[in-house]
Structure 1
């Protein structure tokens, strides 16, 4: 059973990682995002599994990362909040206009999370770029939309995060997790 695994998804620059870090400071178990770490590693070693070099290979490496994260988190009994999940790989390929291979669809169907998925919507006020995040505002908005569509198509319920400070977002997520687990 994987009802204790909760996903935070959305476009780049929407506050996902800041929220995950705040939840970790509150004592919740968390799993980091694949994309940023993969980009850092690939740049460091001169690899090509990068969104600006080979998007299909980047997606395959993300899939491997997310499968490992899912396996590791599934072995825990505590709630785990994950910075993206396996379906994000499907969403990424869809956003890029690339075919979604059958094995990625199958992984998304087989490796499930709690049906409550948190979406960090595009938020103009906090959106920024950095060395790993090169998407523009339009792509950030489109990413959030595609991720919501992808998770919904797989039977998940999307819960939009409020556009508020990190502490209030963390309060919202912890209350929503308790509700989803029936711990009101």
Structure 2
């Protein structure tokens, strides 16, 4: 699951989880909520990206062949989108993980949705910045060979049905 900040991804994943589908947390938000996380994001975005990579790899490594489908809240290509948006070089390690750790099945895209977008303590982007962020991450996913499926603008239950039907 990828897409714009504040586009309903976490709410959708909570709804999908209620139907028994495993989900992974958004690692960026977890880092931002940890002590010093916001400062790391603001002052050292390259280090923030590497912290996201490390946390995303831990989440990835938890999934075994016996596990059923799991929907991650963002993924490796989102880190590339973040780095590009910040005007930073994509480290070889990040590129290698994006090429080597391939997601199976659909990648769902929650597009920018102005009607529900709200800033909060960790979601500090303006609406315009959220739209730019979405464009950067979608381009990164496509650059790594994925064709994200755009989610409809709908309530969480309807969106969850849409996702579950396509798994």
Q: The TM-score by the shorter chain falls in which range?
A: over 0.9
Contact map agreement 1:33 1:84 (CA 8 A) in 2? yes
Q: Following the alignment from structure 2 to structure 1, what is the Cα–Cα distance between the partners of residues 40 and 106?
A: 30
**1:77, distance to aligned residue in structure 2 (A):** 2.2
CA shift in 2, pair 1:156/1:35, >3 Å: same
TM-score (norm 2): 0.95
Q: Partner of 1:92 in structure 2? A: 82
Give the secondary-structure state (helix, strand or coil) at the position aligned to 1:119: strand
TM-score (norm 1): 0.86
Q: Partner of 2:22 in structure 1? A: 29
Counterpart among 87, 97, 101 of residue 111 in structure 1: 101
Q: Partner of 1:83 in structure 2? A: 73
Contact map agreement 2:32 2:38 (CA 8 A) in 1? no
RMSD: 1.4
- Structure 1 stretches of 4+ with a deviation exceeding 3 A read 46-49
Is 1:14 equivalent to 2:14 in the alignment? no
Counterpart among 143, 148, 154 of residue 153 in structure 1: 143
Contact map agreement 1:51 1:58 (CA 8 A) in 2? yes
**1:75, distance to aligned residue in structure 2 (A):** 4.6
Q: Partner of 2:133 in structure 1? A: 143
In structure 2, the gaps of 5 or more residues are none
Residues paired across the two proteins, number: 167
**1:115, distance to aligned residue in structure 2 (A):** 4.8
**1:76, distance to aligned residue in structure 2 (A):** 4.3
Contact map agreement 1:49 1:55 (CA 8 A) in 2? no
Is 1:173 equivalent to 2:163 in the alignment? yes
1:111-135 deviation per Cα after TM superposition (whole angstroms, max 9, x unaligned) = 1102521110000000000001101
In structure 1, the gaps of 5 or more residues are 1-7, 178-184
